[in-house]
Amino acid sequence: MPEICRFLGIIITMYFRDHAPPHFHVRYGGIKVSIDIETLNVIDGKLPPRIRGLVTEWATLHQEELRENWKRAREEKELLAIEPLE
């Protein structure tokens, strides 16, 4: 699972040829969550509120890049790194 971003202990990844809807995976400590790229709603799992807010802020800033990486992952192309939240 390629890592596309890491910040504040949060790791953002995507799988190649993953199932719909377009989403990304978040790991934080032992927690694993999937988040829909379009709605930014949690599909599976649960994050602490503060971490959820940080991930939502980051994803809002980089939604177009997430869409592009989703497309690339479906085509099994190299994923592009996305800037972390500062």
9 CB-near residues (< 8 Å, 6+ apart): 28, 29
- Residue 17 confidence (pLDDT): 84
- Residue 44 confidence (pLDDT): 96
- How far lies 80's CA from each of 42, 43, 49, 52, in Å? 23, 23, 27, 23
Inside any domain, residue 27:
yes
CB atoms within 10 A of CB 78: 9
Q: How confident is the model at residue 12 (pLDDT cuts 50, 70, 90)?
A: very high
Inside any domain, residue 83:
no
Inside any domain, residue 12:
yes
Structural domain boundaries, residue 51 = 3-74
Question: Does the pLDDT of residue 1 top 90, yes or no?
Answer: no
Inside any domain, residue 59:
yes
Inside any domain, residue 81:
no
24-78 per-position pLDDT tens digit = 999 999 999 999 999 999 999 999 999 999 999 999 999 999 999 999 999 999 9
The total number of structural domains in the chain stands at 1
Question: Does the pLDDT of residue 86 top 90, yes or no?
Answer: no
Inside any domain, residue 84:
no
Inside any domain, residue 30:
yes
